[in-house]
Chains A and B, each alone.
Chain A
Amino acid sequence: MDQVIEKRELFVLNGTGASVRGTFHKTRNDDSLEKSSLGARERIGVLFLNSLSQTRAGKGDSSVYWADSFAQAGYPSFRIDLPGFGDSEDETPKDLLAFINRGSYAKVISAKAKELRERFNISGVVLMGLCAGAVSAIHAAPVVSECRGLILLDPYFHLPPSKRSKTWGRLSDRLQQSALRRLIKIASNRVKYIRALFLGGRLPSNSNFPLLTCWKQLASTSLPIIIFRAPTATRDREFDYINYNLEHAGQDNQVVLKMIEGADHTFANRLGRAAVRQETENWLSACFPLIGQEECCLDIASREHE
């Protein structure tokens, strides 16, 4: 049995704090780069963060697909199980969503990004996350000194409503599959929409203000950021946080927004995953071109042949 195969390597990061397991997706040139100190110059990796999916593979193994693709395009990719996810040793935090919304994974992401840099010959990382993973990425970016960019899939900027009462819970369970539930949902969305019209540019009271502060800070520093949205993202009907954020991103922002038609919320369906792959690869090569590194690898390869 092997820890390393042609295109992948299993690793454990246990430098400081929690042990984190993960999978490294190697680029074509990774073996040559190990022999060269030149390779680390501006070699950018993609670090995948867990969404609410249980494992680092993501729904329908979509994260595996993207990591394979990005590595093939020349960007080493790393998928990790943060504490409480997948193969990690730790128990899942009791209120996982609140834990993520508070940005509680930022510290461990920062520590693990440093370990990745030292171990895998990279100069920096682009953090990639879906939904709750995107929230973790935004919270972590200001404290991850290796962070060179963000890939955000359907991020959200609000906090969930407080826990429902027992009576409402029972009623809601009974309505779960009924047509009445659908009608109530439609009516509720309508009310939210009308409320949003009156709210104008003001943020709703359940906004995740610390997260919005992080966002503002990141966008104003010209950090390359690409945001993907699925047309089914219903959560933001109450208030369009993405547009709000783009309007308040500052003149120097390097934020790109992509709406992916036909994608579901997780982008795990064929249309969604292919579009995310294509758009991200284009964005990576525009923001973090490989030219110098490719030349370096070619040099090494030709020297080896001589």
Chain B
Amino acid sequence: MKIQRSAKACLVEEARYFPVPGAHLYTVLHQVTEPLARVLLIGPLASERHFAYHPWIRWARYLAAHRIEVLRFDYRGVGESTGVFEEMSFENWSEDVHLLGEWIAGQTPRVPLLLHGLEVGAILAARSFNQGLGDALLLWSPPANANLALRSSLLQWAGLEQLYESPRNRRPASEFIRRLEEDSCIEVQGYLWSGRLWRDSFMWALPGTMKEGSSHDEMSKRPVKISMLSRDAAPLVKPHLMYDELKDISWLYSDNFEWVAEALQLPDRGRNGSGD
């Protein structure tokens, strides 16, 4: 499935299924002729994917317009990918990142590869990076561990998000947490969370050496940037906006692109794309 976005910029977005054990991942490759670099976008999980979708795609298009080829995807059991969410684990999702990372790293012509993770995706990106994948790492709002991300989604959902729930389904967040701790399943925004997912989430953490700010990986000296996004960057991060709250976050794109260009040592021509 190919589509050419703009005749002038020759930007093609190609949606394909990528086979992984037991499922197919939905991927969209924002193709660039003669790319200066490539980026694997590793997005947030489940319901967060849904809220952050538009600004995440716009970021992919912004990068592509600056001659950086981008691959974005849905995790196993989420969105357009196949698989059953409640049967999946962080192990599976980490494998998704690893397999796609290997695929994009093997594309020709060989150019530098950036791993960019958002929220839970930031943890998965950081772990793959620690295993040697990619030439630079950009993390937006990584939680210290995946449980904090789940907890924050649960708190929000159990609060205002339940306004449309039937009265008998309304319960405080503490009760949902208790059920998860008792190994029961709960539903959050239409996704079934298992006690196993909740337990495992504590073990999926950012590598200890990674701290907010710009730095380098201690071992390999590869560039790393970690930013905690503020409310101004919503709906990439909470609070999620209403459907009619369109927001321009191009400032975030341009700031981060500057870092990407520097980190990957892109020639100046990459900085003068036809982006937003």
A residues lining the B interface (CB < 8 Å) = 1-5, 7-8, 10-12, 14, 19, 21, 23, 52-57, 59-62, 64, 86-87, 89, 92, 94-97, 176-177, 230-232, 262-266, 268-270, 273
Contact = CB atoms under 8 A, between A and B. Distances in A.
Which are the 3 A-B pairs with shortest beta-carbon distances? A60-B190, A268-B190, A1-B16
Contact of B3 (A7, A8, A14): A14
A96 B49 CA distance: 21
A96 B243 contact: yes
A3 B164 contact: no
Contacts of A23: 80
B17 interface: yes
B166 A55 contact: no
A92 B246 contact: yes
A55 B3 contact: no
B244 A12 contact: no
B18 interface: yes
A54 B50 contact: yes
B54 A96 contact: no
Interface string B17-57: 11100001011110000000000000000010011011001
Contacts of A232: 164-167
Nearest to A60: B190
B221 interface: no
Nearest to A62: B190
Given A1-B27, A232-B165, A264-B165, A96 B244 contact: yes
B179 interface: no
B169 to A, nearest CB: 7
B200 to A, nearest CB: 21
B187 A270 contact: yes
Contact of A12 (B2, B53, B169): B2
Contact of B15 (A14, A21, A231, A270): A21
Contacts of A87: 13, 15, 28, 57
A97 B166 contact: no
For the residues of A in contact with B, the DSSP-based class is loop
Given A57-B80, A264-B169, 6 more contacts: A5-B82, A10-B17, A21-B3, A23-B80, A57-B50, A177-B160
A1 B80 contact: no
A87 B187 CA distance: 26
Contacts of B243: 52, 96-97
Identify the interface centre among A52, A57, A92, A95: most chain B CB within 10 Å of its CB. Answer: A57
A61 B82 contact: no
B110 interface: no
A10 B85 contact: no
B164 A265 contact: yes
Contacts of B85: 61
B169 A262 contact: yes
Contacts of A54: 50-51, 53-54
B244 A97 contact: yes
A231 B190 contact: no
Identify the interface centre among A7, A61, A95, A266: most chain B CB within 10 Å of its CB. Answer: A61
A59 B17 contact: no
Contacts of A53: 50
B53 A55 contact: yes
B109 to A, nearest CB: 19
A2 B3 contact: no
30 contacts: A1-B18, A1-B27, A2-B19, A2-B24, A3-B1, A4-B17, A5-B17, A5-B82, A8-B17, A10-B26, A23-B80, A52-B243, A54-B53, A56-B80, A57-B50, A59-B47, A60-B187, A60-B189, A61-B190, A62-B190, A86-B53, A87-B57, A89-B3, A92-B246, A96-B243, A96-B244, A176-B160, A232-B167, A263-B166, A268-B189
B79 interface: yes
Contacts of A268: 189-190
B3 A19 contact: yes
Contact of A2 (B2, B17, B80, B191): B17
A23 B26 CA distance: 11
Given A96-B243, A264-B169, A59 B5 contact: no
Identify the interface centre among B18, B160, B166: most chain A CB within 10 Å of its CB. Answer: B166
